[in-house]
Amino acid sequence: MAQPTIAAIATATGAAGIGIIRISGSEAESILKKVFQPLAAKEELLSHQMYLGWLIEENDRRLDQILAVIMRAPHSYTGEDVVELHCHGGNQVLQNALLLTLQQGAILAQPGEFTQRAFLNGKLDLAQAEAVIDLIEAKSKPAEQIAAAQLAGLFSQKIAAVQNHLLDLTAMIEADIDYPEEEVEMLSMPEMASKLQDALAILDSLLKGAQAGRIYKEGIQTALVGKPNVGKSSLLNALLAEERALVSDIPGTTRDTIEEELLLDGIPLKLLDTAGLREEQKADPIEALGMKRAKEKIAQAQLVLWLVETASFTAEDAAIGAMLQEQNRDNVYLLLNKTDLQTADSLLPQLQKEYAAWPIIGISAKTGAGLEQVTAQIKKDFMSGALQTDEQILVANFRQQNALQKARDHMEDALCSLTANQPLDMVNIDLYAAKQALYEITGEDVTEELLDAIFSRFCLGK
Ligand SMILES: Nc1nc2c(ncn2[C@@H]2O[C@H](COP(=O)(O)OP(=O)(O)OP(=O)(O)O)[C@@H](O)[C@H]2O)c(=O)[nH]1
Ligand SMILES: [Mg+2]
C-alpha cells in the first residue's frame, strides 16, 4: 500500500537566508507542479536539477521566488520521490509554503519520518539512521566524528564482520546436525573456537570505546558540592573561564542549582553548581529549598566534586562526606580548595584515611592551581581504555552498547560450551541468540515500538 506523501519545514525556525520545505512520497511531483512555476517553461523537470521559479498560490499569486528540485525514486534520501523547495528563510514564507503543499494533498510529517522511511526503504540501516540524529545533536567535535563515522557505515561494517563469522559457524553446525550421514566439511573444535574469538575481539574493541563514546555524546553529569563559602561557584566560573555564577564571601550565596555545559580538554561536562549544604536550622527557608534540590541532584550525578577548605574543616564538612559515603558512590573527588591561602599539611593524613576510596586533590579556584590534575583524573576514570588506543570510537548510544553486550555474553557462552565439548546444538543456541542481538543494532530484527521510540527523538523535517 502506498504511503501518504509527507511534507515538513526541514530547516530551523527563525529568520535565515533560506529555508527548505521537504516533500516525500508518490504525490511529491504532482504537488510540485501545482505550487511551482519555473521561470523558463519546462516540459518536464529533470531529476536532481535545481530550477529557479515562483512559488504560487492557486490564484497564481506569487508568494516567493524559490529554487526547487525533484529527486526521483529511488535516488533520494527516503527512497521515494523527494521534492525540496528552497524558499527565503522567513517563518511566514515557510508557513505559507508548507500550507500550500498540505492543501495540495501532502500530510504533515511526524518527527523523524523522512529518516524512518529511508530506513524502511533500505537506504540506511538502523545504526546509520540513529547516527543522523546524533550528528544533528553533536555538541563536541569527537561526538560529531563518532556520528559521522557511524553514518558512513563503519560501525555497521564491524557488525557485519561479526555476523559473517557467526553465520559461517551456524551454517556449518546446522548442516552437521541436519545431515549427520553426509560428510559435511567441518572445522575442528579449536578452529571454530578461534573463529569465535576473532568475532569476540571485534565486539570487545567496540565495547571498549562505547563508554567514552557515550560521554562524548552526553557529557558527564558533574555536581559541585560542599558547605557554604568553600568556593563551589568560584570553581564553576574558573572551569568555564567566565563569571557565570555569583560569588561572594557571604555563605549561602547560591540558592538554586546552576547548570552549565563545558568542554574540559575535549571532554564534555554538564557541571552543576549547587547550594552550599549546612545544618538546616542555620539556613533560611529559601536556602533550605536549595539544599533539598542540591541533594537530589547529587544523587543523580555521575561525578561529584566535593569541595572543602582545609583551614576550616568542620563537622558540617564531615556530615557531607558521610552523606556521600552513604550513597556508596565511587566517583567522588575531594578537592581541597583555596590552596593559595592555606596548605592541607596537618589535616591531609586524616582525610586520606577517612576517604581512602576517593582521589584528593589540592586546588585553587582563584589561581587555577590543581585544575589540570582534576582534568587528568577525569580522563583516567571516565575515558580509560578508549584513550589508550588510536582506535576509532564507533558506539555512542546506550541501546547499541546494550545489544553489543548481549551479543558478547551469548558468544562467550557459546565459546564455553564449545571448548567444554558440549553438543553442537547447545553452542548453536547461543550463536543464534548473539546473531539476534546484533540484528537489533542494524534493525533487521526490531519491534515497531522500538522504531517509534527511536524516530520520535528526531526533529521535524528530518
Ligand atoms: N583565596 C581564595 N578565595 C577563594 C577561592 N575560591 C573561592 N574563594 C572565595 O571564597 C568566597 C566564597 O566563594 P563562592 O564561590 O561564592 O563559594 P560557594 O561555595 O559557591 O558558596 P555558597 O554559594 O554560599 O554555597 C568568595 O569570597 C571567593 O572569592 C580560592 O581558591 N582562593
Ligand atoms: Mg555558590
Please report the atom of ligand 1 found closest to the CA of residue 250.
Answer: 24
Evaluate whether residue 382 is within a structural domain: no
Per-residue pLDDT, averaged over 228-238, amounts to 93
CATH number at residue 236: 3.40.50.300
* CB of 254 shorter than 6 A to ligand 1: yes
| Residue 363 to residue 239: CA distance in whole angstroms | 12
C-alpha cell at 40: 523558463
CATH number at residue 61: 3.30.1360.120
286 in the same domain as 402: no
* CB of 182 shorter than 6 A to ligand 1: no
Evaluate whether residue 198 is within a structural domain: yes
Question: For the residues of 370-403, what is the DSSP string, one character each?
Answer: THHHHHHHHHHHHSTTGGGS-PPP----HHHHHH
115 in the same domain as 22: yes
232: CA distance to ligand 1 center in Å? 7
Residue 304 corresponds to which amino acid?
Answer: V
Please report the atom of ligand 1 found closest to the CA of residue 364.
Answer: 31
- Given 67, 91, 124, the domain boundary residue is 124
Please report the atom of ligand 1 found closest to the CA of residue 246.
Answer: 16
* CB of 338 shorter than 6 A to ligand 1: yes
Evaluate whether residue 426 is within a structural domain: yes
DSSP for residue 330: S
342 in the same domain as 308: yes
- Given 60, 95, 124, the domain boundary residue is 124
Please report the atom of ligand 1 found closest to the CA of residue 247.
Answer: 16
Please check whether residue 146 is in contact with residue 211, taking contact to mean a CB–CB distance below 8 angstroms. Answer: no
Give the burial class of 220: count Cβ atoms within 10 A of its Cβ; 0-12 exposed, 13-18 middle, 19 or more buried.
buried
* CB of 364 shorter than 6 A to ligand 1: yes
Ligand 2 (ion): which residues have CB within 5 A? Answer: 232-233, 253-254
> pLDDT at position 283, please?
66
Whether 185 shows a pLDDT value over 90: the answer reads no
69 in the same domain as 120: yes
User: Phi/psi at 329 (nearest 5 deg)?
Assistant: -85, 145
Q: Is 121 helix (H, G, I), strand (E, B) or coil?
A: coil
- pLDDT tens for residues 83-122? 999 999 999 999 999 999 999 999 999 999 999 999 999 9
Evaluate whether residue 434 is within a structural domain: yes
CATH number at residue 162: 1.20.120.430
Angle at 200 between CA 197 and CA 201, to 5 degrees: 90
- Scanning 138-254, the segments in alpha helix (DSSP H) are 141-151, 154-178, 189-218, 232-240
Residue of 233, 234, 338 best suited for mutating to test ligand 1, as the one with most atoms within 8 Å of CB: 234
Closest ligand to Cα 275: 1
Evaluate whether residue 378 is within a structural domain: no
C-alpha cell at 114: 523522512
211 in the same domain as 307: no
- Given 346, 365, 384, the domain boundary residue is 365
242 in the same domain as 190: no
Domain total of the chain: 3
360 in the same domain as 267: yes
| Residue 398 to residue 368: CA distance in whole angstroms | 35
> pLDDT at position 389, please?
46
Evaluate whether residue 19 is within a structural domain: yes
Q: Which residue owns the Cα nearest ligand 1 atom 30?
A: 338
Which run of H or E residues covers position 226?
strand 220-226
Evaluate whether residue 77 is within a structural domain: yes
- pLDDT tens for residues 328-363? 788 999 999 999 997 767 788 899 999 999 999 999
> pLDDT at position 439, please?
94
CA distances in angstroms from 174 to 309, 314, 426, listed in the order given: 68, 70, 11
224 in the same domain as 201: no
Per-residue pLDDT, averaged over 131-157, amounts to 90
341 in the same domain as 230: yes
Per-residue pLDDT, averaged over 291-315, amounts to 87
| Residue 362 to residue 116: CA distance in whole angstroms | 51
165 in the same domain as 67: no
| Residue 453 to residue 462: CA distance in whole angstroms | 15
431 in the same domain as 294: no
| Residue 419 to residue 430: CA distance in whole angstroms | 14
> pLDDT at position 391, please?
61
| Residue 132 to residue 136: CA distance in whole angstroms | 6
* CB of 256 shorter than 6 A to ligand 1: no
E-assigned strands of 311-446? 332-337, 360-362
Q: Which residue owns the Cα nearest ligand 1 atom 9?
A: 231
Residues found in the chain: 462
Evaluate whether residue 24 is within a structural domain: yes
267: CA distance to ligand 2 center in Å? 24
The boundaries of the domain holding residue 416 are 130-215+393-443
User: Phi/psi at 301 (nearest 5 deg)?
Assistant: -70, 150
337: CA distance to ligand 1 center in Å? 9
309: CA distance to ligand 1 center in Å? 10
The C-alpha cell 589540570 sits at: 372
* CB of 251 shorter than 6 A to ligand 1: yes
* CB of 231 shorter than 6 A to ligand 1: yes
268: CA distance to ligand 1 center in Å? 24
Averaged pLDDT score across all residues of the chain: 89
Q: Which residue owns the Cα nearest ligand 1 atom 2?
A: 338
The C-alpha cell 509554503 sits at: 97
* CB of 274 shorter than 6 A to ligand 1: no
* CB of 371 shorter than 6 A to ligand 1: no
pLDDT band per the 50, 70, 90 thresholds, residue 280:
low
> pLDDT at position 147, please?
92
Please check whether residue 275 is in contact with residue 294, taking contact to mean a CB–CB distance below 8 angstroms. Answer: yes
- pLDDT tens for residues 377-406? 998 888 764 444 456 788 878 899 999 999
179 in the same domain as 136: yes
**Per-residue buried b or exposed e for 31-70, using 16+ beta carbons within 10 Å of the residue's own CB:** bbebbbbeeeeeeebeeeeebebbbbeeeeeebbebebbb
Residue of 225, 227, 229 best suited for mutating to test ligand 1, as the one with most atoms within 8 Å of CB: 229
User: 16-24 and 82-89 as β-strands: parallel, antiparallel, unpaired?
Assistant: antiparallel
Please check whether residue 206 is in contact with residue 394, taking contact to mean a CB–CB distance below 8 angstroms. Answer: yes
Per-residue pLDDT, averaged over 419-438, amounts to 94
225: CA distance to ligand 1 center in Å? 12
